[in-house]
Chains A and B, each alone.
Chain A
Amino acid sequence: MNAEPMLSPGSVARTIGQEVAAKYADSVDRESRFPKESIAAIKKERLLSLLIPKEFGGQGAPFFEAAEVCTALAQSCASTAMIYAMHQIKTSSLISHGQNSPWHRKFMQRISDEQLLLASATTEAGIGGDLRNSICAVETEGDQFALEKMATVISYGKYADAILVTARKNAEAPHSDQVMVAVTKDQYTLEQIGDWDTMGMRGTCSEGFKLICKGSAEQVFPKPFAEIAAQSMLASSHLLWTSVWYGIAGDAVARAQAFVRAEARKRPGSPPPGALRLAEATTLLQAVRSNIIAGLEHFALAQKSEDELMSLGFAVAMNNVKVNVSQAVVQIINHALLICGIHGYKNNTPFSVGRHLRDAHSAALMISNDRILGNTSNLLLVHKHDTSLMR
């Protein structure tokens, strides 16, 4: 019998964070490079197949475990955590929508066996960041397809093992009638068309590429992308992204708290000037955490009913989690900066929060909050606000 206690995915991720990701986080940030060491450690611990059902070789863990891994990794390296989040958003789509297709079932088995890292090509030149529209189209001939996409962003495209690409269903289909297709590294070529030299999240290497791919027609997901977007992507992106941002903010607050405690020890009896602000920061941090947990619980409930998953109320709730958390984390890290003062402002001190702040500023932009609020405001024209406290 195996007497070794089973570690939770969250604690495995925390160890990877502390022992690997933290060591390289500054060089990843400075050089704007792919965090290859921590992704290798994640693969070694088989965390890429965390959500894949056991029958396809994965661990079959519930969704919230992936959120916990995101938070744990983000405390050491936000880029690593965001790459992990983006991979899991793609596997969530596969799990929800690929189980009826023999090709996608085999693909899930491959992800588990080979720990394949999945990337996403949803944005396209000429559509202004709206992932629910495509210009490029899948061209099917017999049982084969071909596809070319000017993808303005494919995060870690060069380092991924497979890419999930959106496109119009065929050359005649309207822009909004999209499908998603999974392609493996041997089936595509990438020609770089854009670089990634940014304020933060510098390790995600979200460069632009001209993607050319071909493969078997059965690699196209059987469900329309609109349903994939509404039933798995909306919730999984907003919940995993916010879990990453919460991890960044949590580490900044931990640094601020360490600073305040050190001050308090130096001068017992007189409360340090940052103590009150730290208390205020923790009220915000707790609200963020509660918001994400409520979102995760709502998603778990909604997954039992396709109607709830496709409802306007669910979309409004997920949009609100994203907007609220993305705004709050910047505010929280700003408090941490004010508490740590010059030690927080300087790089390479135990209290530095510059990278945290730069990384967190991406939150309001990755799917622009203005776009999300525009979408929510449209939904609120018909959806009525639920005034009850408990559901």
Chain B
Amino acid sequence: MATTSERVRNILAQHAKLSVNIASLSDDADLYGAGLSSFATVQLMLALEEEFNIEIPDRLLNRRSFESVSAIAGVIHSVSGIREAG
């Protein structure tokens, strides 16, 4: 099964409209520096809610929550309780 980070990367590839290939970015790379706009952030949130069947609470709807693959995975973990082994 795909890890959260892999699933996040798939969503980013489809919805984030980055100016670089997501595969070239590390989990901690700054997505805003890679061209993530505030408009695309909202589309990204919607796609994440659909993919993980979660509702992201308002307190996590801020710029920092979506600044990197690992930040996004952290949001998903904290909302859904999903934890990966290892």
Contacts and interface: CB of A to CB of B under 8 A. Distances in A.
**Which bucket holds chain B's interface residue count?**
20 to 34
Interface stretch (B4-12, B21-29, B41-49, B73-81): B41-49
A132 B38 contact: yes
Given A174-B19, A382-B56, A307 B33 contact: no
B35 A307 contact: no
Given A230-B63, A312-B42, 10 more contacts: A169-B33, A177-B32, A177-B35, A226-B32, A226-B38, A312-B61, A381-B42, A382-B45, A382-B46, A384-B58
13 contacts: A176-B32, A176-B35, A177-B33, A224-B32, A224-B33, A226-B38, A310-B63, A312-B62, A378-B42, A381-B42, A382-B42, A382-B61, A383-B61
A310 B62 contact: yes
Contacts of A258: none
Dominant SS among interface residues on chain A: loop
A222 interface: no
Closest 9 CB pairs of A and B: A174-B35, A174-B19, A310-B62, A312-B61, A176-B37, A310-B63, A382-B45, A311-B62, A378-B42
Given A382-B56, A383-B58, A310 B64 contact: yes
A155 B39 CA distance: 27
A114 interface: no
A227 interface: yes
Contacts of B58: 311-313, 383-384
A378 B37 CA distance: 12
Interface in A121-147: 132
A111 to B, nearest CB: 28
Nearest to A311: B62
A242 to B, nearest CB: 22
B72 interface: no
B71 interface: no
Interface string A351-391: 00000000000000000000000010011011110000000
B61 A311 contact: yes
Interface of A: 132, 169, 173-177, 224, 226-227, 230, 307, 310-313, 375, 378-379, 381-384
A356 B2 CA distance: 62
A132 to B, nearest CB: 7
A375 B42 CA distance: 10
Contacts of B34: 174, 177
A312 to B, nearest CB: 5
Contacts of B69: none
A335 B23 CA distance: 60
Contacts of A384: 58
B63 A226 contact: yes
B32 A307 contact: no
A33 B33 CA distance: 41
A385 to B, nearest CB: 10
A382 B64 contact: no
Nearest to A178: B32
A307 B59 contact: yes
Nearest to B33: A177
A224 B58 CA distance: 23
A137 to B, nearest CB: 13
Nearest to B62: A310
